Amino acid sequence: MYEALSWDGPVIVECLVDQHEPPLPAKVKSHQVRKLTEALAQGTPNRNRIALQMVKDMLDESSFAASPAHAVPRKVGQAAATLVGRLRDRARGEHPE
């Protein structure tokens, strides 16, 4: 990436991305979260994978003391716990242990 940015002129950078990683701005507003939740609830393809990735990213981010998300806000933590619980219950129904 440094080489590409230091090049004098146009550059093509090939990147590999996770198709289940939702693009989110650094600061998410409540209406954005509401719309994303509605979209997932209405049947977005791979919604379980997307939701789990979001929770994983949030928890990973919260593990860094320097991160602005070093403390998971209470409402976000509660929503994540509810979501994980529902997905776990659904997975147990689909794949009994």
Residue 62 lies in a domain: yes
Does the residue 52 lie in any domain? yes
In this predicted structure, what is the pLDDT of residue 97? 44
Whole-angstrom distance, CA of residue 35 vs CA of residue 38:
5
Q: Is residue 1 part of a domain?
A: no
| SS3 of residue 42 by DSSP | coil
pTM: 0.46
Which residues form the domain of 77?
21-94
Total domains in the fold of the chain: 1
72, amino acid identity: V
Instruction: Tell me the per-residue pLDDT of 40-87, one tens digit each, with 9 for 90 and over.
Output: 888 888 888 888 887 777 777 766 666 665 556 666 667 777 777 777
